[in-house]
Amino acid sequence: MSVHSTDKEVEKTSDDSGSEINLYSFHEQRAGRLVIDPEEAKIEFGDTFTSKLKLTEDGTKILWPQPTDDPEDPQNWSDRRKTAQLIVVTLASVVPDFDSGIGIAGIFALAKQYDTTTGVINNLSSNWSIFLLGIGGVCAVMVMRKFGRLPVLFWSQVLALGFLIGCTFAPSLNTFAAFRCLTAFFATCPQVTGLFVVTDIYPFHLQARKFNIWTMGFIGSPFLSPFVFGFLVARTSWRWAYGIGSLYGLVVIVLIAFFMEETMYDRALNPVPQRPSTGMRYRIESLIGITGARMAKYRSSWYQIILSPLNLIWRPHLLAAVVFQGIFFGFSIGVNVTQAVFLGTPPPVGFGLKPFAISGSYATPIVAVIIGELVGRYLNDWIMEFSIRRNKGVHEAESRLWPCYLAILLYVCGFVVLGASFQNKLSLGAVIMGWGIAVASIMINTVAVYAYCTDCFPKNPGEMSALSSLARALGGFSVAYFQVPWASKYGALQTFGVEAAIVVGLFLLVVPTLQLKGRYLRERYST
């Protein structure tokens, strides 16, 4: 494959002290601490270095990563082209948990169809499919590091669709469970691809805002299918729900095929490898993986790729953030899985609601995710701008964690109200308020932790995303095993209260420590 130079003559430059600097990997070398204000850059690096930096259109911020002069660099794409990528990957990120949530809508129908209990359905299919969502993300990131984002995203969704169709026509419970687990393993790819795509195409100062949009897709998706299909399953077979879910998966595949582009750009290579083809041929070859296979020789070895997650997870600041986020998010996964059981089970454990009422209740978290997105969008931007001004034009990654304080307050409030509502049989309004507050807190906290980890490890957004996804799965897949029995024996208030207390304990151990010692940990344990 031929190579070309993309006007990278300033890739190697020097600051006023004579130190050699690579402009295109500088943000990775200074991970977690970026000079954003051009005036501060002049003080720290001198006029020679600063004069070569590209800025935003209004000239107030330095762009990180620094775009090359190549028009095919995704950082140079038009806003319209970038928005198309974000929309498609967000719609794709709905698929994994949307498919998983179809089983929640049909849990009572499935139990009746296969002559078993709702607990068996959850334990055999729901819980293990959630576990495999995490494992699938780690595997997907490894393949994407080698062959690119687009072909892995495309083929994973094709395979997921095939297995979801298998769920639709499964003749036995074991077959259904196997297909559901395989669907989860392959469908999870967009939940880790999104972080890759956002960091590939958007500069640092816009990333948290775009994370909000992408995370809204996969945080809200588990509630969409119970809300939509609960009404359907109440009137007809659960197989129709899986059939319609398959149609959504097909729509996503079509969108990926026609609108998604390869966002992986090997800016660290000098010179950057030239495209082996152009036009429609390049489009097709990129989609099916031929281009990725040709580019693989320029990228990390399989040995490096496989070890990369292990090389990251032991870093204290990442491990602490991932464990905190995993438990914080994990309990909410358990709530989503068991909520239909709590609402549909007769008193004294549940409310004994009919399927229509249960389905309607799932509008609550959908609205809460939207509220969380709006709060997070403006809160994260305001905190970033305020922190940069306070630090005289410098961004420190630890400032990303301030929204966690608001999130933990909302989380405790939501879980306690939810537990009290189930135990004391308060009004459904109380259930809705508690559930909604908890889900909004999860949206706010998830974006804050993702933004912090991405700032600390800009070279490894995929691995960081996969480890976070795995932590969520490990933190949540087992909750359905014990949540309902625990609440039945000791009361829902104790169940949800203890879960909230565990999260508060982790918060107190992790977030203030990272804000106080994060800079030392970043410098001491850098990649």
CA distance 170 to 187: 18
**Domain boundaries 80-270+277-299, corresponding CATH code:** 1.20.1250.20
Q: How many CA atoms lie within 13 A of 346 on its CB side?
A: 0
- Domains 80-270+277-299 and 300-526 belong to one CATH topology: yes
pLDDT at 272: 67
Joined together, the tokens standing for residue 179 give 């297909």
Helix axes 428-456, 363-390, angle to 10 degrees: 40
Please give the DSSP secondary-structure letter assigned to residue 210. H
- Chain length of the chain: 527
Residue of 225, 4, 126 whose CA lies nearest to 483:
126
End-to-end Cα spacing for the chain? 30
Residue of 396, 368, 423, 348 whose CA lies nearest to 523:
396
Please give the DSSP secondary-structure letter assigned to residue 17. T
**3-class secondary-structure state, position 455:** helix
Q: Which residues pair with 62 in a beta bridge?
A: 55
Q: Are 299 and 266 in contact (CB under 8 A)?
A: yes
CA distance 83 to 80: 5
For the chain, give the longest Cα–Cα distance.
76
Phi, psi of 20 (to 5 degrees): -75, 135
Q: What is the pLDDT along the chain (527 residues), one digit of tens a residue?
A: 333 333 433 345 555 444 556 677 777 778 889 999 999 999 988 888 888 899 998 889 999 988 988 888 999 999 999 999 999 999 999 999 899 888 877 888 888 888 888 778 877 777 788 888 889 999 999 999 999 999 999 999 999 999 999 999 999 999 999 999 999 999 999 999 999 999 999 999 999 999 999 999 989 888 888 888 878 887 888 899 999 999 999 999 999 999 999 999 877 776 767 777 778 888 999 999 999 998 888 888 999 999 999 999 999 999 999 999 999 998 887 777 677 777 877 777 678 888 788 888 888 999 999 999 999 999 999 999 999 999 999 999 999 999 999 999 999 999 999 989 888 888 888 989 999 999 999 999 999 999 999 999 998 898 999 999 899 888 877 776 777 788 778 888 898 999 999 999 999 999 999 999 999 999 888 76
Buried b (16+ CB within 10 A) or exposed e, 366-396: bebbeebbebbbebbeebbeebbeebebbbb
pLDDT at 349: 67
CA distance 376 to 445: 9
Q: Are 253 and 161 in contact (CB under 8 A)?
A: yes
Domain ranges of the chain: 27-66, 80-270+277-299, 300-526
Residues 6+ apart with CB under 8 A from 319: 313
Joined together, the tokens standing for residue 267 give 């800016």
Q: Are 64 and 299 in contact (CB under 8 A)?
A: no
Superfamily of domain 300-526: MFS general substrate transporter like domains (1.20.1250.20)
Q: Are 466 and 395 in contact (CB under 8 A)?
A: no
